[in-house]
Amino acid sequence: MAMAEKPVNALKIAVLSFIFFFIGLDTFIISPLIPSIAKSLGILSAYAGLMVTAYSLSYVIISTLQGPLSDTLGRKPLITTGLVSYSLSPIC
């Protein structure tokens, strides 16, 4: 006997797609800005490039930790916390 599946809410899929779009977008937005960031900080472009590498590395580490955390705490609090911190990070 097949189990009845819950219908997937289109709004939830749209919101999650929007979140993942911006996660990838901010990495690609910063890459072309590396020369101007390096110039404004007075450092070599290679050192400014480390900023993108550090961001990508922290993304990998945090995303591997979010799986077990979402199993214990739930997905909604983690997504909400991530969206709030992402939204407030340019302000701080």
Is the CB of residue 81 less than 8 Å from the CB of residue 70? no
Q: Average of pLDDT values for 12-34?
A: 81
Rounded to the nearest 10 degrees, the angle between the axes of helix 75-88 and helix 45-73 is 150
Q: What is the mean pLDDT of the chain?
A: 82
What does DSSP assign to residue 43? S
Q: Average of pLDDT values for 14-39?
A: 82
Least confident of 19-33, 44-58, 66-80: 19-33
Beta strands in 2-54 (DSSP E): none
Residue 5 has pLDDT above 70, yes or no: no
Percent of the chain's residues with pLDDT above 90: 2
Instruction: Please tell me the predicted confidence (pLDDT) of residue 72.
Output: 92
Q: Average of pLDDT values for 51-78?
A: 85
Instruction: Please tell me the predicted confidence (pLDDT) of residue 12.
Output: 84
Domain edges within the chain: 31-85
Whether this prediction's pTM lies above 0.75 is answered by no
